[in-house]
């Protein structure tokens, strides 16, 4: 090495690997970033109170509970089926209403077709607020407003899904080529006609695909809405846990797995037909 960080070419004519200068600014920045990341992760583990010993001690208790879950409780299967369908209904109605509201909202949010920048910014803020708060939190608020039952779950799911669908669909609109939009504007079409005849047909497959994905996610989310009193099969799951009725809990868990699997298969089939 003639100088730190500069390799010397050997007499054989080969090119050696450059030596690492631990005093260089780039290396020091990487080391500092690594230390910060490790410190952050260690702090997260400490705040989360990760305790593998507690897990090991609790596994025998879980195994004992699992042993009491067999055979499953097959009584009142009609009530289980009704709660499962109620769960699907909450997710379906919530996703459908949210998709209908998010379709025009996403076009107004998109920066390339939105007629008023101030309106696009306001709708983006509203969508971020809807998406940033979980469905369960909205369900709790609506339970306080409209009372216990699936309607509160539907309302909470609508508000959260509006933010998700509008965000994803507006990003798809912003990727549209500008040439067709400019051609429609030059022909004398107004913003409403451009959105109805140029934007909506182009993004309708994306809107359908996004809505189906959100529907799948909402079915899984709606299984826990009953825990906060917002309807669905979560009510039965909470009751089984409170009573330590693990045979019934096994039946309810199997019903949830079957329901989610069927919804995933149905959604995939619809996407292949619509997209």
Question: Can you tell me the distance from the alpha carbon of 41 to that of 35, in angstroms, rounded to the nearest whole number?
Answer: 10
Question: Can you tell me the distance from the alpha carbon of 269 to that of 273, in angstroms, rounded to the nearest whole number?
Answer: 7
Residue 41 has a pLDDT of 92
Q: Residue 264 — pLDDT band, cuts 50, 70, 90?
A: confident
CATH of domain 77-274: 1.10.3720.10
Question: Can you tell me the distance from the alpha carbon of 63 to that of 184, in angstroms, rounded to the nearest whole number?
Answer: 66
Q: Would the pLDDT of 3 be above 50?
A: no
Look at 222 and 35; give whichever has higher pLDDT: 35
CB distance 70 to 247 below 8 Å: yes
Average pLDDT value for the chain: 78
Per-residue three-class SS string for the chain: CCECCECCCCCCCCCCCCCCCCCCHHHHHHHHHHHHHHHHHHHHHHHCCCCHHHHHHHHHHHHHHHHCCCCCCCCCHHHHHHHHHHHHHHHHHHHHHHHHHHHHHHHHHCCCCCCCHHHHHHHHHHHHHHHHCCHHHHHHHHHHHHCCCHHHHHHHHHHHHHHHHHHHHHHHHHCCCHHHHHHHHHCCCCHHHHHHHHHHHHHHHHHHHHHHHHHHHHHHHHCCHHHHCCCCCHHHHHHHHHCCCHHHHHHHHHHHHHHHHHHHHHHHHHHHHHC
Average pLDDT over residues 231-259: 82
* Domain layout of the chain by residue ranges: 77-274
Give the count of alpha carbons within 13 A of 251, CB side only. Answer: 18
Of 60-74, 141-155, 170-184, 203-217, the range with the highest mean pLDDT is 141-155
Look at 88 and 72; give whichever has higher pLDDT: 88
Query: 7-40: per-residue pLDDT in tens?
Result: 555 555 555 566 666 667 777 788 889 999 999 9
Min mean pLDDT across 21-35, 168-182, 221-235 is at 168-182
Average pLDDT over residues 206-210: 76
Helix axes 150-174, 117-132, angle to 10 degrees: 130
Which of 148, 143, 166, 150 is CA-nearest to residue 92?
A: 150
Query: 87-136: per-residue pLDDT in tens?
Result: 889 888 998 999 888 888 887 877 666 667 777 778 888 888 888 888 88
């Amino acid at each position: 090495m003639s100088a730190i960080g500069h390799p010397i070419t050997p007499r054989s004519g080969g090119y050696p690997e450059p030596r690492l200068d631990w005093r260089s600014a780039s290396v020091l920045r990487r080391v500092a970033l690594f230390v910060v990341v490790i410190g952050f992760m260690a702090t997260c583990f400490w705040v989360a109170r990760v305790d593998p010993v507690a897990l090991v001690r609790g596994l025998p208790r879980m195994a004992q509970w699992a042993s009491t879950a067999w055979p499953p409780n097959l009584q009142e299967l009609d009530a289980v089926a009704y709660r499962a369908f109620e769960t699907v209904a909450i997710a379906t109605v919530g996703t459908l209403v949210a998709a209908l509201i998010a379709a025009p909202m996403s076009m107004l949010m998109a920066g390339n077709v939105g007629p008023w920048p101030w309106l696009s910014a306001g709708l983006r803020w509203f969508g971020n607020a809807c998406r940033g708060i979980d469905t369960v939190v909205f369900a709790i608020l609506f339970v306080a407003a409209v009372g216990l039952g699936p309607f509160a779950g539907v309302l909470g799911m609508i508000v959260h899904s509006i933010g998700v669908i509008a965000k994803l669909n507006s990003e798809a609109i912003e990727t549209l080529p500008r040439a067709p939009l400019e051609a429609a504007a030059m022909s004398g079409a107004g913003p409403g006609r451009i959105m109805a005849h140029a934007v909506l047909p182009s993004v309708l497959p994306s809107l359908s695909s996004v809505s189906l994905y959100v529907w799948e996610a909402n079915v899984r989310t709606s299984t826990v809405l009953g825990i906060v009193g917002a309807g669905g099969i979560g009510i039965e799951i909470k009751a089984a846990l409170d009573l330590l009725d693990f045979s019934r809990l096994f039946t309810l868990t199997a019903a949830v797995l079957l329901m989610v699997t069927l919804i995933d298969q149905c959604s995939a089939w619809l996407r292949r037909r619509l997209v």
